[in-house]
Amino acid sequence: MTAPAHESGEITVGGTTVHRLGFGAMRITGPGIWGEPRDRDEAVRVLRRALELGVDFIDTADSYGPYVSEELIRDALHPYPEELVVATKAGLCRTGPDAWYPVGRPEYLRQECEMSLRRLGVERIDLFQLHRIDPLVPADEQFGLLRALLDEGKVASVGLSEVSVEQIEAARAVVPVATVQNLYNVANRSSEPVLEYCDEHAIGFIPWFPIANGALSSGRGALGRVAGELGATPAQVSLAWLLERSPVVMPIPGTSTVAHLEENCAAAALRLSAEQFAALSSGT
């Protein structure tokens, strides 16, 4: 199969239809999501190979590096294929490896949008996401800035990250919300109410940590058993479960190697039986 990601099904985000298995571009940066990757050439190969495998949704953020991920995406893929959607985020400031601090002042978010436009080499960002709601800034001011960017044509659609149902509803009173990106995987379903809300309102749900940074690859319990039955890896089964969970789910597994990328994309072709899905859902 030349484009396995196409087996994941389709979803429309901000008026553009993409395949549901995308690529998260956090891991193509350095350790601690800080600085340049150890192997820049491999990072470029990963990005180009993702497109060859049928990926047409790439998720990044200004804070990955910071800036390194966006710059790599432009270096590897610009000019972008018409079908490719590149999503980015703003709202987390970096002071060092593994250090993340919410900053939601409207002038800061606008500045980061302008800089992302420049780094990505585009006139309009396909999907611009608020990385975190800053608790020190009135939420309506942050949502209002997203609305302004949408009205100005600087972004095509708007998303949120790590939010509750109540926060989504508050945002939607100000600006249309195309996607929500929350922590969610087969082992951590604390965002189940948010996913159910997204399902009900046809909002794309992007689960970050879809395979828990590799923690779900050990294959204990139902995950290992189903993987054995399908001749797949536990990580692949984790991704297949997410794709089966709801038609609005858009997993974005990330990696820094081509081999791991190919393994992840192959998960789109896995099909779980009703019994296997139920066993994974219940953890038995």
Please, which pLDDT band fits residue 1 given cuts at 50, 70 and 90? low
Please, which pLDDT band fits residue 217 given cuts at 50, 70 and 90? low
Catalytic positions: 64
Predicted local confidence at residue 214, as pLDDT: 58
Please, which pLDDT band fits residue 218 given cuts at 50, 70 and 90? low
Residue 221 has pLDDT above 90, yes or no: no
Residues 84, 91: contact at Cβ < 8 Å? no
Number of Cβ atoms within 10 Å of the Cβ of 60? 30
Per-residue pLDDT reduced to its tens digit, 148-180:
999 999 999 999 999 999 999 999 999 999 999
Contacts of 51 (CB under 8 A, 6+ apart): 77, 81, 84
DSSP letter at 80 equals P
Q: How far is CA 221 from the centre of its chain?
A: 27
Per-residue pLDDT reduced to its tens digit, 58-74:
999 999 999 999 999 99
Residue with tokens 């939607």: 172
Q: State mean pLDDT over 275-279.
A: 96
Q: Is 17 exposed, middle or buried (0-12, 13-18, 19+ CB in 10 A)?
A: exposed
Question: CATH code at 164?
Answer: 3.20.20.100
Residue 204 has pLDDT above 70, yes or no: yes
Distance CA(28)–CA(245), nearest Å, equals 28
Whole domain around residue 52: which residue ranges?
Answer: 4-215+246-256
Residues 111, 146: contact at Cβ < 8 Å? no
Predicted local confidence at residue 2, as pLDDT: 85
Predicted local confidence at residue 211, as pLDDT: 85
- Within a domain: 274: no
Distance CA(235)–CA(241), nearest Å, equals 10
Residue 12 has pLDDT above 70, yes or no: yes
Candidates 165, 128, 126; CA nearest to 148 is: 128
User: Encoding tokens for residue 177?
Assistant: 């919300």
- Within a domain: 74: yes
- Within a domain: 72: yes
Predicted local confidence at residue 220, as pLDDT: 72
Residues 265, 258: contact at Cβ < 8 Å? no
Q: State mean pLDDT over 118-134.
A: 98
Residue 215 has pLDDT above 70, yes or no: no
- Within a domain: 207: yes
Predicted local confidence at residue 79, as pLDDT: 97
Percent of the chain with pLDDT over 90: 93
- Within a domain: 276: no
DSSP letter at 78 equals P
Residues 264, 26: contact at Cβ < 8 Å? no
Residue 38 has pLDDT above 70, yes or no: yes
- Within a domain: 235: no
Percent of the chain with pLDDT over 70: 97
- Within a domain: 273: no
Please, which pLDDT band fits residue 10 given cuts at 50, 70 and 90? very high
- Which pTM does this prediction carry? 0.96
What domain count does the chain have?
Answer: 1
Residue 197 has pLDDT above 90, yes or no: yes
